[in-house]
Homo-oligomer: A and B are copies of this chain.
């Protein structure tokens, strides 16, 4: 556990020179550099980031806020963030809020306390007011979920359009009674996806019935199961379902399969294209978001923001992936 002083002494140079060697500054003769490197090897020296970070007043840590790691949707986004961050010598701190404000506070404090240089929030349950406050003095990027007309830069997909296309796909297949499994409409994405759902139905003069719209508490599989069970009990059963998340859609599929003798299989479309969605039986038709790219760009945006650059919001393209769950 040697420090820079001891290296300097051992190498017979000043600490400044050691620092120069460490940071690959040009102005060091090969000989001096060599002496220093020898000393570093011999003493097994590892520079302390604590000192460096204080001096540079940066932590090179990025916070990534998400409600829960258990939704696989976040996996690929995180991969994207991580990849890009590491390439620029940043690291990421994954922060599960569990939708609890206390947790959120802890993490917000970390950036106020300089323990993190910026935040990427993917958490729809985040307290936007606090986040906006934080954003006044610290770099913040929204990923996936965002605030319409807000001042924080975001990266997302067009949820309304995607939902519209998903439902239109169901309509083209001949479905006229189409249900929606939505999450809480306090979330923007939920409102947008509902809007897309309604737009498609209206366009084809199909009924929008409250009975066919179910709101879940969160996105866990179980809630999809529960939602579908309710829908199957409605007087006029829907023939198709659009769920705003793959996890819910997979739960719905489960309820449909588990229902015993459903004469006409019910078509299901999900949203996200998580890896499980091709493992279900039937495999799931879904909207694919470019998750890796989204994460990667979000990281770029944040790092640029930390550098002091102005960053623009981005809307990425999505794609409808047609699989067995809408093939009769």
List of B residues within 8 angstroms of A114 by Cβ: 46, 48-50
Contact A281 B279 (CB under 8 A): no
Checking B50, B96, B250, B281 against A53 with a beta-carbon cut-off of 8 angstroms, the contacting residue is B50
Jot down 13 A-B pairs with beta carbons below 8 A, ordered by A: A1-B137, A49-B113, A49-B115, A51-B54, A54-B54, A70-B75, A86-B103, A221-B278, A221-B279, A257-B281, A258-B281, A276-B276, A280-B281
B275/A254 in contact, CB under 8 A:
no
**Those 6 A-B pairs whose CB atoms lie nearest each other, nearest first:** A46-B112, A49-B115, A49-B113, A50-B54, A94-B94, A48-B114
Q: How large is the interface on A (under 10, 10 to 19, 20 to 34, 35 or more residues)?
A: 35 or more
A47 CB-CB contact with B under 8 Å: yes
- Classify the secondary structure of A's interface with B: helix
Kindly report how many copies of this chain are found in the complex they form together.
2
Which residues of chain B are within 8 angstroms of A124 by Cβ–Cβ distance? none
Shortest C-beta distance, A294 to chain B (Å), equals 16
Beta-carbon contact of A70 and B115 below 8 Å: no
A216 within 8 A of partner (CB): no
Partner of A109, one of B46, B92, B251, B278: B46
